[in-house]
Amino acid sequence: MANSPSGDSMTDRLVRILETFTPTRTVQTAAEIARHAGLPDSTAHRIVGELVATGLLERADDRRVRVGMRLWELATRSSYALHLRQVALPYMERVQARVRQHTQLAIREQDEALFLERLSDPASGANVTRIAGRLPLHASSSGLVLLAYADADVQERLLSAPLRPMSRETLVDPAALRRKLAEVRRLGHAAAPGFVETVSTGVAVPIRERTGEVVAALSVVLPRDAAIDQPLAELRRAAQDIRVALDPPPIERESDRAAGG
């Protein structure tokens, strides 16, 4: 891809434009995109026009721009994250039916927890997470699980950087966070009372593939004073069922059955 005078490649500029769309900023003018992407107006207008022409972006009735269906289509075709969500969803619904608060599925994306799905009861308590939303790994029960089982270099990189608190109870001291991660590995779950919001407690367990690798975290968000034993049992059962569903036994081939008799 050709570089701009600033040294950015076309790919860099495309990504910067697409990243200006957020859960709360879904429709923008080209000028707004330019400002949020830090690009000259002429550059942003040209690239936005090209993306609209290919269907990756589309124009609303008022001529503002939003993410196009073709981008969703391309992302959906072979995404492991979406496959994971599809496999996990029935077991998440079972947890949600029994816990009746918030049930969430998250993966590690770079140094953040990216939430693939969230199920909520109308009467459930506070929860800031949303589908396709992110939280710092150290600041939620899902993030703590994902960080506890991440490679050592990932842990060291995060622990060596300044840690931003989400609430007054978020762990931001590296020594305290190391102890918490060791606790998560020892217990096989993370409990994070007040880490994101002081009125809530997050509880999460790892989801593993057949190899044992942790690929996601399954969590519930409860009122701060709620008991966690029953929700934790539901999470563990669901995580085990998801592991089995992610790695179904091989289907016996017709030729094998014929050869056997």
- Give a three-class secondary structure readout of the chain: CCECCCCCEHHHHHHHHHCCCECCECEECHHHHHHHHCCCHHHHHHHHHHHHHHCCEEECCCCCEEECHHHHHHHHHCCHHHHHHHHHHHHHHHHHHHHCCEEEEEEEECCEEEEEEEEECCCCCCCCCCCCCEEEHHHCHHHHHHHHCCCHHHHHHHHCCCCCCCCCCCCCCHHHHHHHHHHHHHHCCEEEECCCCCCEEEEEEEEECCCCCEEEEEEEEEECCCCCHHHHHHHHHHHHHHHHHHCCCCCCCHHHHHHHC
Least confident range of 56-60, 72-76, 86-90, 102-106 = 72-76
Total count of domains within the chain: 2
Tell me, yes or no, whether 220 and 142 share the same domain: yes
Q: Are residues 22 and 135 in the same domain?
A: no
- For residues 93 and 145, membership in a common domain is answered with yes
Q: Are residues 71 and 83 in the same domain?
A: no
* Cβ proximity of 152 and 127 under 8 Å: no
Residues 93 and 55 in one domain: no
Greater model confidence, 242 or 7: 242
In angstroms, what CA-CA distances link 48 with 27, 67, 252?
13, 11, 50
Residue 58 main-chain phi, psi, to 5 deg: -140, 155
122 and 205, same domain (yes or no): yes
Same domain? 193 vs 174: yes
List C-alpha distances in Å: 157 to 8, 48, 100, 111, 257.
26, 35, 36, 9, 52
Rounded CA-CA distance 19/37 in Å is 8
Average pLDDT of the chain is 89
Mean pLDDT of all residues in 56-65:
91
Q: Report residue 249's pLDDT band, with 50, 70 and 90 as the boundaries.
A: low
Residue 259 lies in a domain: no
CATH number, domain containing residue 147: 3.30.450.40
HSE at residue 217, side-chain half, CA atoms within 13 A, is 33
Say what the pTM is: 0.77
Domain contains 255: no
Q: Is residue 42 part of a domain?
A: yes
Q: What is the model's pLDDT at position 59?
A: 93
Is residue 196 assigned to a domain? yes
Domain that holds residue 55: 10-75
Q: Do both 71 and 190 map to the same domain? A: no
Look at 7 and 181; give whichever has higher pLDDT: 181
Q: What is the pLDDT of residue 78?
A: 64
- Would you state the pLDDT for residue 141? 97
pLDDT band at 248 (very low <50, low <70, confident <90, very high): low
4 within a domain of the structure (yes/no) = no
Tell whether the model's pLDDT for residue 81 goes beyond 70: yes
pLDDT band at 255 (very low <50, low <70, confident <90, very high): very low
Domain boundary among 56, 75, 94: 75
pLDDT digits (tens, 9 = 90+) for 145-165: 999 999 999 999 999 999 999
- Of residues 168 and 261, more confidence is placed in 168
Average pLDDT over residues 50-63: 92
Mean pLDDT of 30-49: 94
What pLDDT score was predicted for residue 30? 93
Say whether both 91 and 197 belong to one domain: yes
Residue 27 lies in a domain: yes
Distance, in Å, from the CA atom of 28 to the CA atom of 30, rounded to the nearest integer, reads 6
> Are residues 61 and 144 both part of a single domain?
no
Nearest C-alpha neighbor of 126 from the set 101, 97, 96, 98: 101
User: Alpha-carbon distance 158 to 243, whole Å?
Assistant: 28
Check residue 261 and give its pLDDT. 42
Place 207 in a pLDDT band, splitting at 50, 70 and 90.
very high
Domain boundary among 75, 100, 125: 75
